[in-house]
Structure 1
Amino acid sequence: MSTVSSEPSETTRDGSALESGRRLQAVLLDMDGTLIESEHLWNESEAELVAELGGVWTEKDHLANVGNAAGPVGRYIIELTGADLTPRQVADRLYDRFRVKLEQGAELRPGAKELVTMLSRAGVPVALVTSTERELVATAIGGIGLESFDDSVAGDEVEANKPHPDPYLRAARRLGVDPRRCVAVEDSVVGMTSAADAGCVTIAIPNHIEIPPREGVVFRDSLVGVDLEWLESLVADR
């Protein structure tokens, strides 16, 4: 005779039941540098704007800002150039330049689309968690399609952006899952700190900058070959 468990079934944000016995509740993905190859577009946009403001933007300046939100980058540029502008005004000018480059197309990172497709087919909730502001998200992720994600959290929709844990905590809360049973994927120190401090199992895939080792953070060269069994094992090991 069959029995019915008295434990409440776990559900996703849309109310659908998670697969029985699944430890992995969701996968939370950064965008710039993780899913799309856009850091060089940010670098070009920053260099052009700084030149317009009378300064010089170096590779060192770019690396110091990888993963940062528009506000901190705006303040950095003001300190560098002495421009009589607010951080928001600098950010708006930077976004205008970046948007033009995005519309010409941003390449996907190796394995990115395959990962999102695999998760969707497996019924694993997947959310985009980016420091980029909402107005650019759909254009930036166009190679995969924003509709491929169950949810997304943009940089201007959180009280505190990366490296604060709020973006990942918000994504988990909106999906109705436990961040400790989520896997997050990041390519920067700022993003890794945000995800790990939120309690997520964190995969770091360094792209343009070196990421120092951190306990509980798993390192990979790329998203190529990431499968559901491995993602499940990361949460199970915890």
Structure 2
Amino acid sequence: MISQVMFDMDGTLIDSERLFLKANAQAATELGVPRAPRDFLPLVGTAGADGLAKMTALVGAAKVPAFAERSVALVMQWVQAGVPIARPGAAALLQRLQTHGLRLVLVTSSDAAYTQTMLTAAGLRDYFAAIHTRDGAPEKPDPALYLRAVAAPGAAPAAATVAVEDTVIGVQAARAAGLRALQVVDLDAPAPGATARVKNLAEAGDWLCDLA
């Protein structure tokens, strides 16, 4: 039995990764490094030094700061213009889990300002009892974010919690924190450490409700 589900945001509930692939290609082209969105797939599910190394390989060290800043600016511009960003079935899944009495928590490596913007634009903010962002904590795959979320007031214990992630590093973070991890496989590779893997959020709902 579970009583709590902890969700990743980018790529899991919000289709931001495809937006970033498009933004990466445009930003690189503006900086004189023409590339297609698919060229930036290696950036999906990266963090820290690994992500920096891959950006450097794609656009060159001198252009990384401008590339990163411009990519984020483009994504924010499109979101504010009303581009749909919720993953298919995201709201329906969260409603279904709430109906089953599950406590919903967001655990993301994104910062607080970006997180609030994306959740509000997607219409998903009010589903969560708590939101934990990277502010003041290491990014995934470090388990610190999940450990902080499990230790927070009102949280259910790890044994009664499942994390829902889309990337290998997200699954690694959840498992290192002692949680079961359900991977919704999309742009990143299947995670060897996942407790289970599904193809979409509807299948995720079936799997989670069976445990509720």
Contact between 2:24 and 2:67, CA under 8 Å: does it hold in 1?
A: no
1:14 match = none
Contact between 1:172 and 1:178, CA under 8 Å: does it hold in 2?
A: yes
Q: 1:32 to 1:106 in 2, by over 3 A?
A: farther
Counterpart Cα distance in 2 of 1:135 and 1:124: 26
| TM-score, normalization by structure 2 | 0.82
Q: 1:66 to 1:43 in 2, by over 3 A?
A: same
1:173 match = 151
Q: 1:72 to 1:159 in 2, by over 3 A?
A: farther
Counterpart Cα distance in 2 of 1:74 and 1:53: 17
Describe how 1:23-42 pairs up with structure 2 within 5 A. 23-42=1-20
Asked if 1:138 is matched to 2:116, the reply is yes
Counterpart Cα distance in 1 of 2:124 and 2:145: 20
Unaligned ranges ≥5, structure 1: 1-22, 233-238
1:94 match = 71
1:230 match = 210
Q: Which structure's CA Rg is the greater one?
A: 1
Length, aligned pairs only: 207
| CA displacement at 1:37 relative to structure 2 | 2.1
Asked if 1:63 is matched to 2:38, the reply is no
Asked if 1:202 is matched to 2:181, the reply is yes
1:105 match = 83
Asked if 1:183 is matched to 2:165, the reply is no
Percent identical pairs in the alignment equals 29
Unaligned ranges ≥5, structure 2: none
Asked if 1:148 is matched to 2:136, the reply is no
Asked if 1:162 is matched to 2:140, the reply is yes
User: For the aligned residues, what is the CA RMSD?
Assistant: 2.6
Picking from 89, 98, 101, the partner of 1:120 is 98
Which residue identity lines up with residue 231 of structure 1 in the other structure?
L
Contact between 1:67 and 1:131, CA under 8 Å: does it hold in 2?
A: no
Q: 1:132 to 1:224 in 2, by over 3 A?
A: same
1:193 match = 172
